[in-house]
């Protein structure tokens, strides 16, 4: 595997994650560690359950670094397996519940998982191929021939800690992209990378009796960067198996939630709950947002009505680039994703790999103490992902386009692959989407490039209208185009009932583009 050497952390954390969880269990065995749908697991019992999972895995012959997969909604069992796997010296591989059966089969084959833990809700995604794989199968909540019952398995094992020494380069987790086609690529994180992220524990108050509400899936890095620091800090994680805006507010109010990590679409839905103001959210200290830029108008609404700080992270599952925006402290910078986090270096480069001048747009490349070990088994992809400066230091290419303003705040333009090239001119879909979203009748919007005989490709707007709006697509297009430059204008607008998103709220533009380009091939 290609060796990636990240810069040293400015504030290194010395205690390993599993070692710290052990210490937390000894210090406060009766304190709640996990809560999910009315069930609570204390720190003492959590320690025992992790040990039993680790001992079970060792009993079936797993070895250091082996991959163990999970396909399930968020649950206490899921967390037990997640950290029990790491405790056994193995690499946890949480699988996306949004992936197609074909993609899941490729993931399991690619990582060579020794075992897979599955919830019944997602069994249909794998039952067409799972019996053909040489893999131990464990059922969380169903009874079927060829599957081992989870509770039976862990009950039959020792509760003794296996006490496996874990080093900084040991594999911690493998996170796969959730695409529906092609070969998914696995982002490999080692213990050192995850430990760097534990520096956020004290800085963000996760060690001060925090109560963190998790409503995004555990297969997402978005979730893990909030979930792990909370447990590292000895606090309590509240898990939602499935996000629902009203239920989220009910839990946040009744359980006096102090911390949360949400994605933009969740903020939007929460703020649209008609009686939002009736929920007592006064315990909330810090709210985080990541996975996609949060719209400035939503940031303003959250700052005004939702108690606690609003902090936006811009980063990648692969690591490298990290920017932070404390929205309340910078109300004039809500159109940005903040400044590079201390210890993070960001460079902007052009198509030839040259750094661009100040104020010019370029591809965001980042370098920080938190960087992946590489794409699992794919040195070719890892090499393609790297850019090196004149000193030979490796940066990760983000695929995002952006520029820095005069104060050093990063303003994102678009994904590089989503940039539309029309008549030789670069058009950033994000600029056009903002023009559409400025229309009071537009609820949601996406802009994609579609084939054009005259221009090669041309921008098409896809919008969801607010309930009760009778506006025509042409009227929406003309209103947006009046705010755009001549070279940016939308060729057309189509009205949709909804726009497809994955479970962390990103619009699936590849899925939106496909029908238009498929027609071009026929």
Over the stretch 213-227, which tens digit does the pLDDT of each residue have?
A: 999 999 999 999 999
- E strand map for 303-344: 309-315, 322-326, 339-340
What's the whole-number average pLDDT of the chain? 93
**Listed residues 137, 171, 195: the one ending a domain:** 195
> Do 448 and 509 form a contact (C-beta atoms < 8 A)?
yes
Same domain, 355 and 423: no
Same domain, 394 and 515: no
Residue 329 lies in a domain: no
For the residues 91-104, what does the mean pLDDT come to?
91
Same domain, 351 and 455: no
Same domain, 105 and 243: no
The C-alpha angle with vertex 56 and arms to 54 and 60, in degrees rounded to 5, equals 115
Same domain, 261 and 205: yes
Residue 431 is predicted with a pLDDT of 84
Question: What CATH number is attached to the domain comprising 484?
Answer: 3.30.300.30
Residue 239 lies in a domain: yes
Q: How confident is the model at residue 180 (pLDDT cuts 50, 70, 90)?
A: very low
Would the pLDDT of 414 be above 90? no
**Listed residues 259, 290, 307: the one ending a domain:** 307
Residues with Cβ within 8 Å of 393's Cβ and at least 6 positions away in sequence, in order, are 5, 7, 367
Report how far residue 50's alpha carbon sits from residue 81's, in angstroms, rounded to the nearest whole number: 7
Question: What CATH number is attached to the domain comprising 376?
Answer: 2.30.38.10
Residue 427 lies in a domain: yes
Same domain, 276 and 388: no
Same domain, 151 and 213: no
Residue 32 lies in a domain: no
Same domain, 232 and 363: no
**Listed residues 146, 177, 195: the one ending a domain:** 195
Q: How confident is the model at residue 181 (pLDDT cuts 50, 70, 90)?
A: very low
Q: Which two tokens mark 353? A: 């790999």
Q: Is 519 exposed, middle or buried (0-12, 13-18, 19+ CB in 10 A)?
A: exposed
Residue 178 is predicted with a pLDDT of 54
Same domain, 121 and 160: yes
Report how far residue 232's alpha carbon sits from residue 195's, in angstroms, rounded to the nearest whole number: 10
Tell me the pLDDT tens digit for each residue of 40-53.
999 999 999 999 99
Domain count, the chain: 4
The C-alpha angle with vertex 399 and arms to 393 and 405, in degrees rounded to 5, equals 80
Would the pLDDT of 511 be above 50? yes
What values do phi and psi take at 308, rounded to 5?
95, 165
Q: How confident is the model at residue 418 (pLDDT cuts 50, 70, 90)?
A: confident
Strand-pair category, 186-190 with 171-176: antiparallel
Tell me the pLDDT tens digit for each residue of 314-346.
999 999 999 999 999 999 999 999 999 999 999
Q: Is 160 exposed, middle or buried (0-12, 13-18, 19+ CB in 10 A)?
A: exposed
Residue 320 lies in a domain: no
Residue 293 is predicted with a pLDDT of 83
Question: What CATH number is attached to the domain comprising 264?
Answer: 3.40.50.980
Would the pLDDT of 249 be above 80? yes
Residue 51 is predicted with a pLDDT of 98
Provide the residue range defining the domain that includes 239: 198-307
Same domain, 267 and 342: no
| Largest Cα span, the chain | 70
For the residues 477-506, what does the mean pLDDT come to?
89
Around Cβ 126, how many Cβ atoms within 10 Å? Answer: 21
Would the pLDDT of 182 be above 60? no
> Is 0.75 surpassed by the pTM of this model?
yes
Residue 332 lies in a domain: no
Same domain, 404 and 367: yes
Residue 171 lies in a domain: yes
Same domain, 378 and 489: no
Residue with more model confidence, 487 or 401: 401
Residue 321 lies in a domain: no
């Amino acid at each position: 595997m290609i060796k990636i050497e990240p810069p040293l952390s400015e504030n290194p954390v010395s205690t390993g994650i599993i070692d710290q969880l052990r210490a937390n269990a000894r210090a406060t065995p009766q304190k709640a560690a996990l809560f999910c749908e009315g069930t609570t697991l204390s720190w003492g019992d959590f320690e025992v359950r992790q040990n039993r999972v680790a001992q079970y895995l060792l009993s079936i012959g797993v070895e250091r670094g082996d991959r163990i997969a999970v396909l399930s909604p968020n649950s206490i069992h899921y967390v037990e397996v997640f950290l029990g796997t790491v405790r056994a010296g193995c690499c946890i591989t949480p699988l996306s519940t949004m992936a197609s059966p074909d993609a899941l089969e490729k993931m399991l084959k690619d990582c060579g998982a020794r075992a897979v833990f599955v919830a019944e809700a997602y069994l249909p995604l794998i039952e067409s191929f799972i019996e053909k794989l040489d893999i131990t199968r464990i059922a969380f909540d169903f009874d079927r021939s060829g599957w081992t019952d989870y509770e039976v398995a862990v009950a039959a094992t020792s509760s003794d800690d296996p006490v496996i020494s874990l080093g900084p380069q040991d594999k911690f987790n493998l996170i796969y992209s959730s695409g529906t086609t092609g070969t998914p690529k696995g982002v490999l994180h080692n213990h050192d990378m995850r430990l760097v992220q534990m520096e956020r524990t004290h800085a963000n108050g996760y060690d001060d009796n925090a109560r963190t509400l998790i409503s995004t899936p555990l297969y997402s890095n978005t979730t893990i960067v909030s979930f792990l620091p909370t447990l590292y800090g000895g606090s309590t994680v509240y898990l939602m198996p499935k996000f629902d805006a009203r239920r989220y507010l009910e839990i946040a109010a009744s359980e006096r939630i102090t911390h949360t990590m949400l994605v933009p679409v969740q903020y939007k839905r929460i703020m649209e709950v008609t009686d939002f103001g009736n929920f007592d959210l006064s315990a909330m200290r810090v709210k985080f947002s990541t996975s996609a830029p949060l719209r400035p108008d939503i940031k303003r609404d959250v700052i005004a009505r939702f108690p606690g700080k609003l902090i936006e992270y811009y980063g990648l599952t692969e690591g490298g680039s990290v920017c932070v925006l404390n929205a309340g402290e910078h109300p004039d910078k809500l159109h940005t994703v903040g400044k590079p986090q201390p210890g993070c270096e960001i460079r902007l480069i052009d198509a030839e790999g040259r750094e661009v001048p100040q104020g010019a747009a370029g591809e965001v490349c980042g370098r920080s103490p938190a960087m992946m070990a590489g794409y699992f088994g794919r040195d070719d992809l890892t090499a393609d992902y790297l850019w090196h400066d004149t000193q030979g230091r490796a940066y990760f290419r983000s695929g995002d386009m952006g520029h820095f303003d005069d104060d050093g705040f990063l303003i994102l333009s678009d994904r590089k692959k989503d940039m539309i090239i029309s008549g030789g001119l670069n058009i950033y879909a994000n600029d056009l989407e903002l023009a559409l979203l400025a229309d009071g009748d537009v609820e949601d919007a996406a802009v994609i490039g579609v084939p054009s005989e005259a221009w090669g490709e041309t921008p098409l707007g896809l919008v969801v209208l607010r309930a009760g709006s009778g506006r025509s697509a042409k009227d929406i297009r003309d209103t947006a185009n009046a705010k755009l430059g001549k070279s940016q204008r939308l060729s057309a607008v189509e009205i949709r009932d909804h726009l497809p998103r994955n479970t962390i709220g990103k619009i699936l533009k590849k899925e939106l583009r496909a029908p238009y380009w498929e027609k071009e091939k026929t």
